Amino acid sequence: MHNSTAETPHITGTCNETLSTQSPSSEFSLGVLVLLAFLMVLLALVTILGNILVILAFIMDRNLRHRSNYFFLNLAISDFAVGAFCMPLYIPYSLTGKWHLGRGVCKLWLVMDYLLCTASVFNIVLISYDRFLSVTKAVSYRAQQGITSNPVIKMVAIWVFAFLLYCPAIFFWEHVAGHSVVAADQCYAEFFNNWYFLLCASTLEFFVPLLSVTYFNVRIFHNIQRRQQHGSTQDCELPRSSSLSWRFCLSLRQGQDMKIAKSLAIIVCVFAICWAPYTLLMIIRGACQGKCIHNSLYEITFWLLWLNSSLNPFLYPLCHVKFRMAFMKILCPKKFATLRSGSF
């Protein structure tokens, strides 16, 4: 996909910034192109269906409608839009090397691409923070479970901050600069080569979220260890005089906390694996004006980034029993009815 005679980038976005203008057909056979197209479409379908399942579960099952699960819904909406809008528009562009949908659609696609991927990251941070509060401040956290206005404000704030990080630059960069560097048949952001802007933006989009999520996870582990050492828990409101009931509450609560901690550890690792290669290559590419990163390697990194949106439905809701039961109710109603009747 690399064109030695052209140095204009193929595409640039929060989820996808590549470095060629030549069609991949110049390097790959028809069979390889068909395989690539199949894998791209498959990833888009998995992303769409997985996140639709989360959204439907939230809509159909009232038991899921408490504060923390609203954040799962917010994440699912952003990831669903990545699979339904960003990926399908990119696939033909990736395979042909040319943008055929016009400048207006290009701008819309760039705005959605940056907005949705950034919102997805910020939602991950918000979910991790919510889990952190549920473990370290369990009593006050439970007391606020019925309050929906607070999570709604946080959910809206996620989208506002995500929009402000990149979208004004997408709209106004060429007007401030006085000219556009984007060819008529290409679609990428005007700031694709501005190393300072990319470094600042990627710090807010990746490095700060990664450090935040890691911090929350470490604090959760330390909190659980401290409880186990001192034999106490915030969430057991039974008097110690009823020792049997209190001890049962304490083993039960610590087990739930450990599950949360393990799920967060997986989330941190997957998030880092999916986002770190793209972010680092984006910064390096900006520093060397796009001349030191092979396009194929860069292509892999942003598809790896998009993979995060397809994995999130499995990493988050599937870690929770209530979501798993809601999924079973949707996908296997007969089995769900059998299990439910057997539990009574």
Query: Which domains, ranges and CATH numbers included, belong to the chain?
Result: 11-219+259-333 (1.20.1070.10)
Q: Given a cut of 90, is residue 141 above it in pLDDT?
A: no
Instruction: Give the 3-state secondary structure of residue 188.
Output: strand
Which amino acid belongs to residue 239? P
Name which residue leads in pLDDT, 10 or 69: 69
* DSSP label at residue 28: S
- How sure is the predictor about 243, in pLDDT bands with cuts at 50, 70 and 90? low
> Which of 92, 98, 105 is CA-nearest to residue 20?
98
Least confident piece of the model among 23-27, 133-137, 338-342: 23-27
Q: Given a cut of 80, is residue 125 above it in pLDDT?
A: yes
Indicate the pTM of the whole model.
0.82
Sole residue written with tokens 């894998």: 39
The alpha-helical segments, DSSP class H, found in 147-242 are 149-177, 195-202, 208-230
Category of 56 on φ-ψ map: left (φ > 0), alpha (ψ -120 to 50) or beta: alpha
Q: Given a cut of 60, is residue 113 above it in pLDDT?
A: yes
Average pLDDT over residues 142-157: 75
Name which residue leads in pLDDT, 26 or 175: 175
Structure tokens at 282: 């984006």
Sole residue written with tokens 């004006």: 289
Share of the chain above pLDDT 70, in %: 76
Which amino acid belongs to residue 279? T
- How sure is the predictor about 257, in pLDDT bands with cuts at 50, 70 and 90? low
Q: What are the tens digits of pLDDT across the range 1-42?
A: 333 333 334 444 445 443 334 455 456 678 888 898 999 999
Sole residue written with tokens 């402000």: 164
CB atoms within 10 A of CB 303: 20
Least confident piece of the model among 116-130, 249-263, 297-311: 249-263
> Which of 108, 58, 116 is CA-nearest to residue 83?
116
- How sure is the predictor about 209, in pLDDT bands with cuts at 50, 70 and 90? very high
Name which residue leads in pLDDT, 239 or 126: 126
Which amino acid belongs to residue 112? M
Q: Given a cut of 90, is residue 85 above it in pLDDT?
A: yes
Q: Given a cut of 90, is residue 66 above it in pLDDT?
A: no
Tell me how far apart the alpha carbons of residues 11 and 20 are, in angstroms, rounded to a whole number: 8
pLDDT recorded at residue 132 = 86
CB atoms within 10 A of CB 232: 12
Least confident piece of the model among 166-175, 304-313, 335-344: 335-344
Least confident piece of the model among 17-26, 128-137, 188-197, 224-233: 17-26
pLDDT recorded at residue 119 = 94
Check: CB of residue 192 under 8 Å from CB of residue 17.
yes
Average pLDDT over residues 238-251: 55
- How sure is the predictor about 246, in pLDDT bands with cuts at 50, 70 and 90? low
| Gyration radius (Cα) of the chain, Å | 23
Helices 30-60 and 321-331 cross at an angle (nearest 10°) of 110
Name which residue leads in pLDDT, 96 or 257: 96
Least confident piece of the model among 18-27, 111-120, 279-288, 299-308: 18-27
Check: CB of residue 68 under 8 Å from CB of residue 333.
no
Tell me how far apart the alpha carbons of residues 340 and 233 are, in angstroms, rounded to a whole number: 31
Instruction: Give the 3-state secondary structure of residue 316.
Output: coil
b vs e for 198-210, b when ≥16 Cβ sit within 10 Å of the residue's Cβ? beebbebbbeebb
CB atoms within 10 A of CB 65: 12
> Which of 29, 169, 6, 15 is CA-nearest to residue 90?
15
- How sure is the predictor about 212, in pLDDT bands with cuts at 50, 70 and 90? very high
Sole residue written with tokens 């029993």: 321
Q: What is the mean pLDDT of the chain?
A: 79
> Which of 338, 336, 313 is CA-nearest to residue 56?
313
pLDDT recorded at residue 282 = 82
The residues near 47 (Cβ < 8 Å, ≥ 6 apart) are 79, 80, 82, 83, 84, 87, 306, 309, 310
